[in-house]
């Protein structure tokens, strides 16, 4: 049975400074009213992180650091659809500002402009039985950052691309609408979205270099497909291999 999902934010919470908006949203789960949806945002996130606990850098007030807490209901087996929907929502938003021909989704859910990282996502789901009952959608978008630390491999910001400055609060409200449009149809458009997601994948259609995280072995492969669970299927020449996002790192 399909369930309508409401992505209307009931309350916006601004924090002048916080360790992590995702962490704050997680704490809200035990304190807030059932089924109340929140948007938590800050100008200063001190311990931001992305996938696999990677550090997320942001100068104070320069970029978007936001987490949405939404109560949803989808089958656990389909939970990668949450990642797809959020990736496409952020892609939708960025394509309103930038030329979509230069935008890509790097598996599983980073947003790239050409070969540089524009945004990263961190999704944390709560599961009861065979259902995802709520999700925390953490988004880090490089907005007005001019300079990045040298140890960050390949970042880029909206300002660096366009030469313009942006109001971060305006972006939060605009992005909420983009997220809401995608998630309102989460249980209805999964197959179409999977195809759309696949067409936008970074390095699709060409060979890329990957590194196995357990052995640090570097190898070449070409994206073949994505499984329903969100695993990456690579054609490595002689065979097709399946990886989850903790097992490999894309190098180029």
Whether this prediction's pTM lies above 0.85 is answered by: yes
Same domain, 163 and 235: no
Residue 4 forms part of a structural domain = no
What integer pLDDT is reported at residue 59 of this predicted model?
A: 86
Residue 1 forms part of a structural domain = no
Residue 159 forms part of a structural domain = yes
Domain that holds residue 237: 207-250
Same domain, 118 and 222: no
Q: pLDDT by residue (tens digit) across 19-52? A: 999 999 999 988 877 788 999 999 999 876 655 4
Residue 61 forms part of a structural domain = yes
Q: How many domains does the chain have?
A: 2
What the block records as the tokens of 141 is 């978008």
45: domain CATH number?
3.30.930.10
Residue 2 forms part of a structural domain = no
Confidence check: pLDDT of 248 > 70: yes
212: domain CATH number?
2.30.30
DSSP for residue 155: B
What are the backbone angles phi and psi of residue 66, rounded to the nearest 5°?
-145, 150
> DSSP assignment of 52-81, as one string?
GG-B----TTTSEEEEEEEEEEEEGGGTHH
Is the four-CA dihedral 74, 80, 81, 87 of positive or negative sign?
positive
Q: What is the mean pLDDT of the chain?
A: 91
Same domain, 195 and 73: yes
Average pLDDT over residues 202-231: 96
Same domain, 219 and 183: no
């Amino acid at each position: 049975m399909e369930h309508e999902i409401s992505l209307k934010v009931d309350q916006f919470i601004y924090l002048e400074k916080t360790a992590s908006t995702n962490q704050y949203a997680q704490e809200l789960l035990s304190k807030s009213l059932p089924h109340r949806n929140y948007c938590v945002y800050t100008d200063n996130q001190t311990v931001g992180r992305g996938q696999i606990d990677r550090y997320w850098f942001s100068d104070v007030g320069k970029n978007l650091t936001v987490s949405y807490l939404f109560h949803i209901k989808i089958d656990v087996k389909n939970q990668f659809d949450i990642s797809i929907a959020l990736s496409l929502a952020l892609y939708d938003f960025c394509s309103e500002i930038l030329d979509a021909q230069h935008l890509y989704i790097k598996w599983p859910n980073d947003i790239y402009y050409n070969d540089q990282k524009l945004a990263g996502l961190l999704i944390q789901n709560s599961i009861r039985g065979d259902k995802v009952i709520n999700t925390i959608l953490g988004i880090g978008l490089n907005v007005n950052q001019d300079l990045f630390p040298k140890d960050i491999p390949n970042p880029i910001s909206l300002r660096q691309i366009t030469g313009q400055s942006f109001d971060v609060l305006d972006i939060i409200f605009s992005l909420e609408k983009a997220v809401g449009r995608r998630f309102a149809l989460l249980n209805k458009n999964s197959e179409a979205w999977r195809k759309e997601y696949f067409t936008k994948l970074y390095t699709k259609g060409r060979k890329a270099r990957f590194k196995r995280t357990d052995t640090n072995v570097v190898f070449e492969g070409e994206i073949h497909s994505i499984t329903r669970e969100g695993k990456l299927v690579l054609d490595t020449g002689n065979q097709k291999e399946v990886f989850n996002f903790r097992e490999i790192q894309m190098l180029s």
